[in-house]
Structures are given as structure tokens and as C-alpha cells.
Amino acid sequence: MSSTSIKLGYKYLRSSKGGAFSFTTFLAIIGLIIGISSLIVVTSVMNGFEKELENRILGVIPHAVITSDIPIQDYEKTINHIKENNNIIFAAPYISIQGLITTSNKSQGISIIGVDPGVEGKMSIIPEYTFLGSISDLEENNTIIIGSSLAANIGAYIGDEVNITTSDIKTSIIGSYPTSVNLKIVGIYELKTEIDQFLTLISHKTAQKLKNIKDNETTSIRLKTNDLFNADLISRDILKQLNNASYTSTSWKSSHGTLFEAIKFEKLLISMMLFLIVFVASILVLSTVVMTVKSKEREIGILMTLGASSKHIILIFLTQGMIVSIIGIIGGILIGLIFTFNLNYLIDLLENLLNRNLLDAYFINYFPYYIDYSQVATISVISFLISAFSSLVPSMYAIRLNPVEILRHE
């Protein structure tokens, strides 16, 4: 009897005119395909943007920084001690300075970081995105690397000399005055993020001179951890390891944590909105099964008089809903994956058609995507459960029909 119920469930899906599916069944399948494929494309693109932003910002911003109230002496010894921790990928001296950059006609506030050019490639992605000059050029005395947006704002180019004034005060016999130095631009990088507008790099040696500290001293130590999202916990472990009351730690979460929380929240909201499409498609599944139940009341009555149990009646209409949901889910997954894999090709076609760049407002010139197959599985399971429940509701109505009353009115 179970196989008969399944066959009847499939039969009821078909059009009365002999087509593969009735119109309402076709609408339900199309609705599921649109909803599921949209969810896969949008979540994959948002995952890609999140990872790209994580790479471009957190590839520059230190995972964590160990600082001290007084200059850290013999910092190389301290760094070697820090590297003994299994959670540390790399550590390097780091000096952060706020300053003013000035050309012949413009000035702008900037952040200056003093880094070791020899190991900067292990600490950040800026060497990779330096398109003019090289990070190694910082080995030369009194040199600086700036972002492309900053260069455009102040009208500077590689080879130009700029004046840097910091908030550090120098004292001499003639009085106190801000630290100021002329530096040559030896490199320009471009991350296509807000960082390009204010972040500049100088060598650690140049930064030591600006801070007026000794060759074996630094103001802080930058950490690169093996677990980005637990960098705050790891840095606190390092403090315990160093056992020095003058040391404090900060992580990227204090400066950029809110941004990534906002991205995750936005992704959640969009996913919820797209699940509404799946829900609407499930209403179409419900409508399909309800209409089938109403149109097949006489056949249901006959089946009941022939001894069909409630379980078999439910199975007929549950089969109908499950077939619709399975076809819709498989179709949605396939179309979603195909569309995602070819997204940049489709964007290129659209840009050529419209003769304009659609990604001017973004920090990258392509759509990044990252397909999380566990998300795809979750979307599929939830969609299937919603559709199955939508089929179950009219099935419960069908078993409450009175076969005597149905056949009496025929």
C-alpha cells in the first residue's frame, strides 16, 4: 500500500491535461529554486566580502600589540621569548606615531608605523600591495611609504620629499618644539580600503629617532597569532608569560571588532529576508497540496472505503510535497552554484552592456565569493523541513474527511 500511496502522490502532481506538472506545482518549484539559489549566491558573496575585508584590513592591522609605559629594552630578547608561545606565528618591533604630513601646498593628519622592513612581509600584506617601490627601500634612511589615496590627496608621488611633524616634543637650549623630519617617498601601496587614506610606514630605525629612543628599544611589539578571533585571549596569555607589570595588550577587536560584528549582523538580516522567499515558496507548496486534496476528495473517500489507513492518505500528499521540495532544492542548489561560480563573468557582461563600472563604489574590482557548503546544507535542510511541514498540514485535513459524506454528495 505504501508504494501505491507514493505513486498516487506523484500522479496528483501532474497536470490534468497530461503535462509533467500542474501550474501550481510548477510555481511552487520555481519559487523554491529562486529562493534557494538567491540564498546561496548572496550568502556566498557576503562570505567572500567578509573574508576579503578581513584579509585587507586585518592583514595590516596588528592582531595584537604588547605595549609598555616605558620603552621596551632589549626588545629582541623579549620577542624571542614571545615566539616560544605556540599560538604566535610571528612577532616584531612596532612603533606607532600620530603625525602630520605636509607637502608644498597641503597637510593631512596620518598614522605612522615604524616596522622592520626585513620581516614586514611576514607581518602584513602591505609589501604585496606596494605597486610603486618596495618595502625594502625603507632600509634607506629617512624614507616613507604611503597609501595611494593619501598620495592623491596631498599631491605627492614616489621620489617626492614630505615633511612629517609628530606630537612628540623635543627639548633643547632654545626651548621645546614638536619633532619634525623630512622624508623621501620610496613606495606607494593600494589596498582599496580606508587605510590607504592615512596609514604610512617608516623603518623602525627612523621611528626610533622620531621617538628619541635607543637602538635596542621599542615602544611596542606586534603579534601575529594563529587564531585571529582569539587574539585578545592569546595576548593576555603572553602578558602572563612575560610577567612584567608595565606591559599591557590590545587586540584588533578594540579598533575594528564592531565593523565585523556589523557585517555578520547584516548577513544575518539578509539571510532572514531571503528565507522569506523560501517561506513564500513553501506557501505555494501548501496551496498545491490543498488544491489537490480539494480536487481529489472523491478519490480519497473511495480509498478510505477500500481500507486505506490515515497513514497511507498522509503519505500520498506528503509524497507530493516532498517531490516538489526535492526538485526545487536540487534545482536551487545547482542554479545557485552555477550562478556563483560565474558571477564575475556575468558582471563583466553586464558592465560591457551598460558601458559602466558597477564596482566603483567598492574596495575591490571583482565580486569575491566563498561557498560554505555547510551553509548550503543548512539552507537545504531548513527549506525541506518547511516544505514538508507545508505538505503535512493539508494531509491532516484529508484524513479528517468523512468518506460517507463525500460519496453521498457525488
Over the stretch 167-198, which tens digit does the pLDDT of each residue have?
776 666 666 667 889 999 999 999 887 889 99
C-beta of residue 290 within 8 angstroms of C-beta of residue 394:
yes
Over the stretch 196-224, which tens digit does the pLDDT of each residue have?
999 999 999 999 998 989 999 999 999 99
Whether 366 shows a pLDDT value over 60: the answer reads yes
Over the stretch 242-259, which tens digit does the pLDDT of each residue have?
988 889 998 888 877 676
> What's the first-to-final CA gap in the chain, in angstroms?
25
Choice between 280 and 76, residue whose per-residue pLDDT is larger: 76
161-200: burial string, b at 16+ Cβ within 10 Å, e else? ebebebeeeeeeeeeeeebebebebbbbbbbbbebbbbbb
SS3 146: strand
Give the Å distances, CA to CA, from 260 to 124, 233, 265, 273.
19, 18, 9, 20
Number of neighbours of residue 395 by Cβ within 10 angstroms: 22
Share of the chain above pLDDT 70, in %: 82
Q: Is the model's pTM score more than 0.85?
A: no
What phi, psi does 152 have (nearest 5°)? -70, -40
The closest alpha carbon to 43, from 375, 380, 381, belongs to 375
DSSP state letter for 402: -
Choice between 79 and 372, residue whose per-residue pLDDT is larger: 79
C-beta of residue 36 within 8 angstroms of C-beta of residue 324:
no
C-beta of residue 61 within 8 angstroms of C-beta of residue 363:
no
Over the stretch 259-290, which tens digit does the pLDDT of each residue have?
667 777 777 777 777 777 777 777 777 777 77
Give the Å distances, CA to CA, from 395 to 28, 150, 321, 352, 405.
17, 66, 10, 51, 18
pLDDT at 72: 93
